A and B are shown apart, each in its own frame.
Chain A
């Protein structure tokens, strides 16, 4: 857009500061006595977040309590910020499982590609955002921590219901 400053000719003869002030004061007074307040008292009340909110990761588990992950390596591949560290392993039956699965929540941009790409529906982004820590190391979530999380997980985008209603 071009910078095009318009010098408006305001009708000076009709401008009155005092009357405009009174009008403004009436407006603010209306707000003053209005009972509806927009404040959300955060730690006590929380804002409703979308079903598709992409927050702290969570690893879902099977009935036996093991992580669903099969260490296919899709999520570290697709991850745009390169925050997933995956070292695959294999047990006696030949089932692949992650030896190391770490997500650096500081590097993560919460795009949710890992959840979309996961064939086993194992890794998920969650509907959760309160993940403060005292140190940087605390933000590197290992497999144990990822499976231990209990918050609800994000829903995928559904073409039939694009707005998530």
Chain B
């Protein structure tokens, strides 16, 4: 018999409601704050990318403007981009050509609206939650908005009336549609565990379980991260702008500020994905080893501390994005597609089934042994429920990364060729080597 607790709804305890004017004022302040931080952060990200790439390659990176770290380089770049001439090629579709950079830029910023960036603040006017819009549909909203980011790229590619741009747009639309599915599927185990889709609930669930989701749902995290790389068009998935094949892909024809809208939106997407990874899998703004912050509203100092912790976690993932970009080479297009459809998607689907079964089993155990209940009395001392999940997870990680991942996640060109086909290839090259000149240069 399935215990009824599985289907029990999670009751959201509503915050003490704010009066309408503190609500509007606090929301406007939060909007301005997040927008400013985002824009400055994105500007600094361009610098960070150049610095980190330089360091990885044994260079120094920009250090001429604004001290040894080149802190004013983004400002210099911005001024340069604004002063530059805007070219409008003759055969472009003008309205769409102008619209496309905006369409790339707006969704990148919109997704930031629903990510909680701090513990709720018990101010004297009521509880102010540190998220611009606490939507009940949470990260479904983020998925929806991030799925719109492809329009900017596709339309930029199409309206440029340029074969390279068009190919870039085609690639990006196919790539993003493919990886969106794995991304959504990889998040379902997180939903199953949290029992809700609002991001604040997921943060609370991780705090209550005393384990970050990355420890209990590692494979979800892995799939989500790979899909996030594909969604943001970062290496190793930057086929839409592959320089060696497509010049600059979808933004070949763009110049000046219109062009720089595309990198800005790419970095904003990167920041959003990082914030999402931190929230969904690394405890979000929750201050580790502390109980106060997940019991409701806290004082201003703890709020600031939680914001700082969230910033550190997000910054780490942004660093990982850059780090991987300067480590891995670009995939081939067939590798990209086979990874998305033949590896990520089945893995995510199988994982959903396994996690759902595990949760059902644990909830059933919880009805028999109270120790296994999620809100067990001593859960903060020995998180039995979480530890059980962790055990299952370790087994799955070993199975996936040490047994299943043998030349299957990314295969060489002949990876799926049969031994007979490889033998035939060898025979062909042997014949060819006889035809080629044996001497000379």
Contact = CB atoms under 8 A, between A and B. Distances in A.
A9 B422 contact: yes
B407 A7 contact: no
Interface in B409-425: 409-412, 414-415, 422, 425
A136 interface: no
A29 to B, nearest CB: 7
Contacts of B405: 16-19
Contact of A19 (B222, B401, B441): B401
B91 interface: no
Contact of B56 (A1, A12, A32, A39): A32
A135 interface: no
A31 B55 contact: yes
Contacts of A14: 406-407
Given A31-B57, A39-B60, A3 B407 contact: no
Contacts of A10: 407, 412
B326 interface: yes
B407 A16 contact: yes
Contacts of A158: none
Interface in A34-54: 34, 36-39, 41
A7 to B, nearest CB: 5
Contacts of B432: 3, 5
B411 A18 contact: no
Contact of A25 (B323, B422, B425, B441): B323
Given A2-B436, A24-B328, A37 B58 contact: yes
B324 interface: yes
A149 B426 CA distance: 64
A33 B51 CA distance: 12
A37 to B, nearest CB: 5
Nearest to B438: A2
Interface residues on A, range: 20 to 34
A32 B52 contact: yes
A128 B437 CA distance: 45
Interface string A69-101: 000000000000000000000000000000000
B87 interface: no
B141 to A, nearest CB: 31
Contacts of B4: none
A16 B412 CA distance: 11
A12 B419 CA distance: 12
A34 B327 contact: no
Given A2-B433, A5-B429, A21 B52 contact: no
Contact of B411 (A2, A7, A12, A38): A12
A6 interface: yes
Contact of A12 (B406, B425, B437): B406
B124 interface: no
Given A3-B433, A28-B327, A16 B409 contact: yes
A64 B328 CA distance: 65
Contact of B437 (A2, A5, A24, A31): A2
A37 B59 contact: yes
Given A1-B441, A21-B328, A24-B327, A15 B407 contact: yes
A19 B411 CA distance: 14
Contact of A7 (B55, B324, B406, B426): B426
A4 interface: yes
A17 B401 contact: no
Nearest to A9: B422
A15 to B, nearest CB: 4
Contacts of A16: 401, 405-407, 409
B378 to A, nearest CB: 37
Contacts of B222: 18
Interface of B: 52, 54-60, 63, 222, 323-324, 326-328, 401, 405-407, 409-412, 414-415, 422, 425-426, 429, 432-433, 436-439, 441
